[in-house]
Amino acid sequence: MNELIELYNLTKENIELFIKNLENRGIKNIVFYGAGETAKVIIKVLKDMPNISIKLLFLVDDDAVKQEKLFEGYQVFNPCKIEKQDIDAVIITSCIYEKEIRNKLDKLNYPRQSIMNIFN
């Protein structure tokens, strides 16, 4: 059990550093691409950081079953929603599907410099 707690604390610290780095770059409005377990952990960490200026607007996911539903208190939409919003960055929360997600964002003409991955 102690190993699991240590793993969570290390993960939390890395996510906090990632979020602070975004904030330092002037990023305010973000969207998560992927409504899975990784996004759930990041949302928990975000909620534990009350003094940040970053706002998670919503999530997008390719899984139609997840779309138009709430995930950890945030709406999940089809990725096409990204085109119509004022978003500073899209955060990819999937390690496995990163390449496919980047290709889909390219097809939506989303600027590559505004696409980030939590795992990098």
Quick: pLDDT tens for 6-54: 887 888 999 999 999 999 999 999 999 999 999 999 999 999 998 999 9
- Who wins on pLDDT, 75 or 119? 75
Q: How far apart are the C-alpha atoms of 66 and 50, rounded to whole Å?
A: 27
Alpha-carbon Rg for the chain, nearest whole angstrom, is: 14
Contact 39, 93 (CB under 8 A): yes
Nearest to residue 30, comparing CAs of 111, 119, 90, 103?
90
pTM score over 0.85: yes
Domain total in the chain: 1
Q: Which domain range does residue 101 map to?
A: 2-117
- Per-residue pLDDT at 95: 87
Q: How far apart are the C-alpha atoms of 118 and 102, rounded to whole Å?
A: 13
- CATH number of the domain bearing residue 15: 3.40.50.720
Q: How far apart are the C-alpha atoms of 77 and 89, rounded to whole Å?
A: 16
Nearest to residue 55, comparing CAs of 82, 23, 84?
23
**pLDDT for residue 115 is more than 80:** yes
